[in-house]
Amino acid sequence: MSTRESFNPESYELDKSFRLTRFTELKGTGCKVPQDVLQKLLESLQENHFQEDEQFLGAVMPRLGIGMDTCVIPLRHGGLSLVQTTDYIYPIVDDPYMMGRIACANVLSDLYAMGVTECDNMLMLLGISNKMTDRERDKVMPLIIQGFKDAAEEAGTSVTGGQTVLNPWIVLGGVATTVCQPNEFIMPDNAVPGDVLVLTKPLGTQVAVAVHQWLDIPEKWNKIKLVVTQEDVELAYQEAMMNMARLNRTGLQDQQCSTIWYEKQSLALEAQRYPSHTPLRDCCQGGGGGPSYCSESHVHSLHCKVFLSQRLVSLNS
């Protein structure tokens, strides 16, 4: 997708101070319950999580249920499996159309992480903020829906339904479903030393969109304005929006720890080996006092050692 012009609220007869990200108090994946808390809450649903894989004509039909981002369920029609995922996020960028595309890509990314390249159907889950004026709702929500629809069509699928409700905060998400043969998906339980971890975008998206919001918050912007320019922030923000596909709901660390939890193995990651947004590196060197994570606060609780080689700005400071 080519670079998109910055969203101008006045072009849609909205106040120039309109910001989509102000219709939520948490940003992006901040809506997610920490993994350790989630596991406790879902204990009653996990009784059948590790039930044995099924067999069809001598072939193993894997089953994957509670605890991972995508479920794999053998169908009663032999030889086929249902692969399904659901996800949602709060607004992280102020362009409604791009936010719709990001929400769709966020849902599809969990299918792609399973090696599934085709999606048979999508549903859209939409929470409309009851704090929006009628004009804001009527101008903004259709743009979000159009962005979601366009991204789904580019992925070769379509949106056939969903659910729309009123909510204090804007909520954007959906359900992605496909029916596969066993050779059309990859179970996340066979990683071995030497395997390649494929990143679908440079790291730094969450930092880029957060720092962009700091431009309107003097006390935060003053912390980093000596090491990064407004032009760099705008460039990183635009690049981040173009890289809409997110690796997983809580970032690279949680993606790896989810896999480790399933595999019962350990892993260490070296941050200096990750590709990152070039304009963002100055943003990530503005903090002090030792390393801190550029992610939601619950990432600190992950049972995974991540070695950071840079001094990163904490988004929660």
Catalytic residues: 31
Query: Which of 257, 262, 317 shows the shortest CA–CA distance to 293?
Result: 317
User: Does an H or E element contain 205, and which?
Assistant: helix 205-214
Question: Is residue 74 classed as helix, strand or coil in its secondary structure?
Answer: strand
10 Å Cβ neighbour count for 37? 12
| Residue that the structure tokens 């849902």 belong to | 107
- Asked whether 20 and 170 are in contact (CB, 8 A), the reply is yes
10 Å Cβ neighbour count for 282? 16
SS (H, E, C) 50-62: CCCCEEECCEEEC
- Asked whether 272 and 310 are in contact (CB, 8 A), the reply is yes
Query: Which of 102, 35, 67, 104 shows the shortest CA–CA distance to 295?
Result: 35
* DSSP conformational letter for 76: S
SS (H, E, C) 115-149: CCCCCCEEEEEEEEECCCCHHHHHHHHHHHHHHHH
Alpha carbon distances (Å) from 238 to 34, 159, 174: 29, 26, 24
- How is residue 135 written in tokens? 């004009």
